[in-house]
Amino acid sequence: MDVDRAGTDELARQAVSVAQALRDSADPIRRLRFSGAVSGRDYAEHGAALASALAVLNSRLTGRADLLDTLAPRLSSSAEVIAEVDGQGARRLRDSSGSVS
């Protein structure tokens, strides 16, 4: 069976890392607070912080999309190998049960 376990494990670690990075990117957005007494300068600073956080989030989402592009062919390849091995096992089982009767 030719399943790329090391590659799949590495992609899983990358997926966890990307998910954590997305959570970290969302944190500054959650902390932004506006009140009626906020001055124009404060709005500008919050706007800049929001723009920066969104830029990081966009970068992380792009990274996640790249990861999924990489992961999909590996999963497909592994699934094909598993299906092939299962098919071979089923044929052997049918052949052996046919010769027993």
- The pLDDT of residue 100: 53
**pLDDT per residue as tens digits for the range 48-95:** 877 887 888 888 788 878 887 887 777 777 777 788 888 888 888 888
DSSP 3-state of 3: coil
pTM as predicted = 0.42
Q: Say what the pLDDT of residue 62 is.
A: 83
- The set of residues, in sequence order, having a beta carbon less than 8 Å from that of 53 and lying 6+ positions away, is 25, 26, 28, 29
Q: What is the pLDDT of residue 35?
A: 62
